[in-house]
Structure 1
């Protein structure tokens, strides 16, 4: 579809009466959800969105705020005549889902943050993003390769070499401007713990105990503060690869609870 003169790609699967919306993370695209689509497309209509600047979606500007990306997702829901859906957002996709839930809570039936958080970037993280943005302008391929490798726990990196290579290949489909725009948007995102505490819908956190990006104890603390149920998986940031079976079981339990 076209959103603000920008092409946004999305994919629909299944024909269920309920809708499941899947939002990928930074340097990913809709292809990351294959196992989830295979698992649930016989029960749900599934919408996978290529977020702005990723996959086959174009860039909208120099900065893609989480709010702007959320607006583009909401436009897709309207296009597909979806009035309520279950949302699963991986990493950056979780930030987008939170922004959408904050402004349009009536669209949310359930909300799952997968390897994600309602916290803003720390000052240290913002500094790292600024450095990465500069590197993206001069040595993008090396930056992407390093970024993807750093998402897996050290224990699983040797086990999933083929999957890591595929992730890098997909990540390099993200244009430099897509990288910069979303990195800037993530850097500017705000704290949204209150979104997890809504009494309009159920929420769930799924975290990896060895996540190199999100500190495990911080995820536990966030769950406790917001009284949000949390599922703890054994590996890193890429639970859909490192803990695929356990993730699918956890999503099934949450969706049908």
Structure 2
């Protein structure tokens, strides 16, 4: 479905029946990333997949897409569908957007799952790396995309999941240059939202890959200390929905239905 939004458009899908689940993809991804995860969720639930700003079939609305701006776009879809409560699941950048949404609209959320994501802000090294990434994108975005996708998988999984990596790359290459840069700029300036993981009343879960090349394992574990967050650990990388698909299916259903 297409929703007109700020001179552009938001693409989203709605399937199934039952309590609502909203799925938010990560950087360089789009709503197709959930294709293999959706079937188990759809058995007893309604599933909404949204293409975030500058990704998939959703257009760009500026040079910088902050996580707050993306959260506002998500809220527009929720309002259009007149949904009063749902479980929110965000992968990587989608987790940053989910936290921005939860900060503004916590009354709508039954549960929040950060899938290979974090409540922390970028440190100075990460901000510098974002700037370097932006320059690399401007020079040759296809090379940047190809290298970035492969590096999301645990090193010993890159040959095993070669076909999956190629499919992810093909979807990532559909992301427009402006969308890539706007998201990098937005992630770079996002604030720390760890307090939401500590103090919010809705149920929470973090899915962590021990060999995640993007997010440092101990940093993620520390975010969950002395909180009610359920921690799910997998032995692989940043792409748990591919590297650990069956196990993730089971964990998500348990979390949603508990």
TM-score, length basis structure 2: 0.97
Cα offsets for 1:211-240 (capped at 9, x unmatched): 000011111111115442210011000000
Contact 2:4 2:10 in 1 (8 A): yes
The 2-side partners of 1:61 and 1:163 are apart by 31
SS at match of 1:191: coil
Query: Does residue 1:213 correspond to 2:241, yes or no?
Result: no
Unaligned 5+ segments in structure 2 are none
Contact 1:153 1:236 in 2 (8 A): yes
Contact 1:23 1:88 in 2 (8 A): yes
Unaligned 5+ segments in structure 1 are none
SS at match of 2:47: strand
Contact 2:88 2:113 in 1 (8 A): yes
Aligned-pair CA distance for 1:199: 4.1
Bigger CA drift: 38-47 or 193-202?
A: 193-202
1:206-245 equivalences in 2 (<5 Å):
206-245=207-246
Query: Does residue 1:56 correspond to 2:54, yes or no?
Result: no
1:120-159 equivalences in 2 (<5 Å):
120-159=121-160
Contact 2:27 2:92 in 1 (8 A): yes
Aligned-pair CA distance for 1:4: 1.5
The 2-side partners of 1:250 and 1:218 are apart by 22
SS at match of 2:111: strand
The 2-side partners of 1:11 and 1:189 are apart by 27
Cα offsets for 1:134-190 (capped at 9, x unmatched): 111111110000000110001111100000000100000000100000000000000
Tell me which residue corresponds to 1:119: 120
SS at match of 1:214: coil
Tell me which residue corresponds to 1:4: 6
The 1-side partners of 2:206 and 2:68 are apart by 21
